[in-house]
Structure 1
Amino acid sequence: MRNLSFGQVGLLVILLALLGLTGVWAVAVWNATSDAVMDKHGWIALGLGTFFSLLIGCGLMALMFFSSRSGHDDAADPFRKRREPSAE
């Protein structure tokens, strides 16, 4: 593993500070809204929304992966060097 430069260390420190501040903010918001009550319909809606969001996200990522592997994306990138098919 190579040594990190001063700029990379600075970037890591800034990103870790942002991560920490985000965590502090999330805990503060969670505690500020702790008196809000969610009934079973709210939990069902939260679960279904999470499930379908993950389903759509995974499906779109799979479509993107298979589209890239099958060569359908080659026409959309005019700067990509074309590979000659192997003569087998």
Structure 2
Amino acid sequence: MRTLLVILLLGMLIAAGYFAYSAMSVEGEALPTERYVALALGAGFSIVVGIGLMMLLFFSNRRGYDEPPHFR
């Protein structure tokens, strides 16, 4: 069963790689500069949001906000 799973996942990886390679080799116009800027800003914003959420996760864990309530 494990071998079948590994073969399936490797097949999916190869298919994704082939799709990415074939999509990059399409002839056409180059992207304008505005789209590269938008891509960079979107990626940077995603990284900032991810870092902020991880900081909140660690902050709440260290402060004890994730502990179950203690009823008296």
Q: TM-score under structure 1 normalisation?
A: 0.65
Match for residue 9 of structure 1? 3
Say which one has the larger Rg.
1
Which of structures 1 and 2 has the larger relative contact order (alpha carbons within 8 angstroms, sep 6+)? 2
Higher-helix-fraction structure:
2
Match for residue 18 of structure 2? 24
RMSD in angstroms over aligned alpha carbons?
A: 2.1
Unmatched 5+ stretches in structure 1: 1-6, 83-88
CA 1:45–1:66: 2 relative to 1, 3 Å: same
Aligned length: 70
Aligned equivalents of 1:69 and 1:17: distance in 2?
42
Q: TM-score under structure 2 normalisation?
A: 0.75
